[in-house]
Amino acid sequence: MTITVVPALATAASAATGDATLAATSPIVTTPDGGTATVVVQLDVEGGGTLPADVTAQWATGAGSATAGEDYAPVSGTITFPAGTASGATQQLTVPTAPSAEGETAETISIDLAADDASIGTRPTVVIDAHGLPYLDASLPVPARVDDLLGRMSLAAKVGQMTQAERAEVDDSQAQIADLMLGSLLSGGGSGPEENDPEAWADMVDGYQLWTRLTPLQIPLIYGVDSVHGHNNVVGATVFPHNIGLGATRDPALVQETAHVTAEETRATGIPWTFAPCLCVARDTRWGRTYEAFGEDPSLVVEMETSIDGFQGGDVSALDDPDRVLATAKHIGGDGDTEYGTGDDLGSGPSTYPIDQGITVTSREEFERIDLAPFIPAVQQHHVGSIMPSYSSTDYTEDGLGNPIKAHADASVLTEFLKDEVGFDGFVISDYHGIDQIPGDRASDVRTWVNAGGDMAMEPDDYASFEITLINEVLEGRVPQERIDDAVRRILTKKFQLGLFEQPFADRTNLDQVGSAEHRAVARQAAAESQVLLKNSDDALPLADDAPLYVAGRNADDLGNQIGGWSITWQGQSGRHTEGTTILEGIEQVAPDADVTFSVDASAPIDPDATGVVVVGETPYSEGYGDVGGPLWAYDPADEGMPREPKTMDLRAEDQAVIETVCAQTATCVVLVVSGRPLVLSDQLGDIDALVASWLPGSEGTGVADVLFGRTPFTGQLPQSWPRTVEQGELNVGDSTYEPLYPFGWGLSTSADLPLSDAQVSRLAETLAGGDAGRLTGPLAALQNAQGLDAEDPRVRELVGALRQVVQQLVADPVTGVPAPAADRIARADVALLEEDVATTVRLLVEAATV
């Protein structure tokens, strides 16, 4: 066992006798059965000086659950720090234990420590680890281990496993972890160690995990964090594009690799569980969480569910690997489909979310087609380990309007659909304070949540109340014991599969890979593939390496803006708060010979022969604070109490002014929009030569520069329909009236490596422009007539992509965008291809060019 000295508070340079403190370096010291515990005692001298006189302490084994004379022989002694000893010095004492003939749960031995001439800080407890019991036997099947452990647990221990607390709330009294037998802790957005680096994160999590060793059964914590686009709470971690950008890549293999990197960096810091991916279908771009979604159509969301395999390794047998974590599919129950104006009222006036946490008004059939569909393959194909419900409510039309039910209370979704129909065998975790939004009192909230199918409650600061309330509800018969056992069985199963009983503390094997060059290369590729080229008049892109460039705009050289929300803090921050490369820095790296002038507001003189590169868009936000017309955030330290800018789908006036200035004075004007959703810029489209949807590309701005200079071709496609007006916030492929500026699936390419010759492309364009679709020749004719062709065949996708490129060039107007009839067919063609219906894809693309 180790004893650590508590630092003194005074600042004197030297200390007199009596100004010394002795303390254990760790409050808990474990030893295997029959082993010897080594306790380290540390000296702290006030002011950091040296001892002017000897300090002697007496120590002895004391009370505990271990039996003296049977489990250990009582021991005692003294330790002396002689005069002149420097502050920080340590000495050791040892406590031998005796081997047991049979298996036992963990037992404790207190250590009494006293001194006449020094203060006493932390007094340690020696723990003889649990041993010899079936649930500790890794050779047994997981179900057998769960059965054995469950049979040894009290009701209080079971309810503890169903409880998750925010780590900051237990930090001042970490003994609560043991006292309440908590099953889980989390770090909410921005909740981390004071020294924010990977090593400190691992130390922090291990410190919490240590307290579980004090409980008889020693069930480890499962620690969770929102690693939603990388291990984004950690300074120096690799940060990927948000999901909206990953959806634009149309590259499931790359999305899987980004999740794998995230898993490796997360697990290295001792965290085995991420609250990702978000499988919501974003149906209204006014929603502040739009960037959390892969796209507006469930077919695209399903395509990107390879992220689950990246996190978990594709099979539960990989969960205990040091580069894998448990994934969470979220948020089931209408997330992304709520109606504008129904958002959660957090109080009144400016504290109201217009759409986030609102109400989804839908039929059961549409609810299953749009909102529930992504969760079926998540469970049945990807075996996701946990699922989180939405804050939102659903008002099913079949039983009349006006009676919405919270997703956290909806047994028809959490139990009947998810567990009974789809066969989900993981556990359901509530969202942050999610059960508290269920109408009713505290007791009804708790029992409704559990009886609806909730397994673990994320109760950041109400964890003790949750445990007391749930225990009482069980004792009163309002929550069946069988429901408790089912919930705990699901949680314990994942803990065993994660290998937490064998390795409860951080496996730091990959800690040096956090933010590594190899990982950043993946993020750079993801950033490049996420860029969507909306307009490219006269081949404005790619840029020449040695061309004079005039770079402007507030998002050109702001790492925080290009990373977005959920980055170091919950809401994210403008400025540089982690490691990475801005878009401007990326330009300078990728094209070092370019003559670059940078002016944020375009106030510097402009060379009329220069190419303008204007980078505009949004500043960071998360959740309801990103709702268009929503409340203003002002609470991150960097905000200094000043509210952030209002959220709108319009470009800010200063952004519009920079575009106007640069595009009016440069030979060619390229505009990049860095944002978490499409923004309206229809009025300026005619002034822009090339327009790029950059989304929120993450920490590697070099990836954006790669496509600007042609190092990598533009291949991205819109995951969200790009609106013409602010009034088109609710605009989705397949709408009866569908008039976007650019449709779902739109994306020009700068690749010179099309699978068709120039002559074939010209002939194809002439044929389509002439309206004679029947004259299609060569491989495209075969595609058009093919039935049941495998859409996963790369050759097929390449040919369809070539056809799409030709069609886009034919239908795009440089000033007004894409005509509605063509936009409708291009969007539906993309959905058809995602659904592997190649024949319909080709038919719709041909129609797009000929309507």
Closest CA to 714 of 359, 381, 336, 250: 250
Task: Show the 3-state SS of 110-167.
Answer: EEEEEECCCEECCCCEEEECCECCHHHCCCCCHHHHHHHHHHCCCHHHHHHHCEEEEH
What is the SS3 assignment for 482?
helix
Dist CA 434 CA 409 (whole Å): 10
Dist CA 514 CA 202 (whole Å): 12
DSSP H or E run through 77: strand 76-81
C-alpha distances out from residue 309 to 237, 321, 328, 632, 705, Å: 21, 13, 11, 37, 29
Dist CA 498 CA 319 (whole Å): 5
Q: Please identify every residue annotated as catalytic.
A: 431, 623
The pLDDT of residue 780 is above 70: no
301-315: pLDDT as tens digits? 999 999 999 999 988
The C-alpha torsion from 127 through 128 and 134 to 137, rounded to 10°, is 90
**In 417-575, at which residue ranges do the beta strands (DSSP E only) sit?**
427-428, 457-458, 532-536, 548-552
526-537: pLDDT as tens digits? 999 999 999 999
Dist CA 359 CA 339 (whole Å): 6
Cα 559 versus chain centre, distance: 18
Dist CA 304 CA 392 (whole Å): 23
Q: Is the previous residue joined to 242 through a cis bond, with omega within 30 degrees of 0?
A: no
The pLDDT assigned to 779 comes to: 59
Mean pLDDT, rounded, for 436-441: 95
Give the confidence band of 792 by pLDDT, cuts at 50, 70, 90: confident
What is the SS3 assignment for 741?
coil
Mean pLDDT, rounded, for 242-267: 98
Q: Return the residue matching tokens 């340690």.
A: 124
Q: Return the residue matching tokens 């300090």.
A: 55
Give the confidence band of 798 by pLDDT, cuts at 50, 70, 90: confident
The pLDDT of residue 781 is above 90: no
> Most distant CA pair in the chain: distance in Å?
102
The pLDDT assigned to 349 comes to: 46
The pLDDT of residue 813 is above 90: yes
Task: Show the 3-state SS of 555-588.
Answer: CCCCHHHHHCCCECECCCCCCCCCCCECHHHHHH
Are 839 and 784 contacting, i.e. CB atoms less than 8 angstroms apart?
yes
C-alpha distances out from residue 35 to 32, 94, 287, Å: 5, 10, 58
Taking the whole predicted model, whether its pTM rises above 0.85 is answered as: yes
The pLDDT assigned to 14 comes to: 33
The pLDDT assigned to 725 comes to: 96
**In 470-517, at which residue ranges do the beta strands (DSSP E only) sit?**
none
Give the confidence band of 417 by pLDDT, cuts at 50, 70, 90: very high
**In 292-397, at which residue ranges do the beta strands (DSSP E only) sit?**
328-332, 359-362, 386-389, 393-396
Q: For the chain, how are helix, strand and coil distributed in percent, rounded to 5?
A: 35, 20, 45
Q: What angle do CA 454, 460, 461 make, to 5 degrees?
A: 120
Residue 99: CB atoms within 10 A of its CB come to: 11
Give the confidence band of 571 by pLDDT, cuts at 50, 70, 90: very high
Dist CA 290 CA 111 (whole Å): 55
The pLDDT of residue 509 is above 90: yes
Give the DSSP letter of residue 730. S
Average pLDDT, rounded, for the chain: 93
The pLDDT of residue 18 is above 60: no
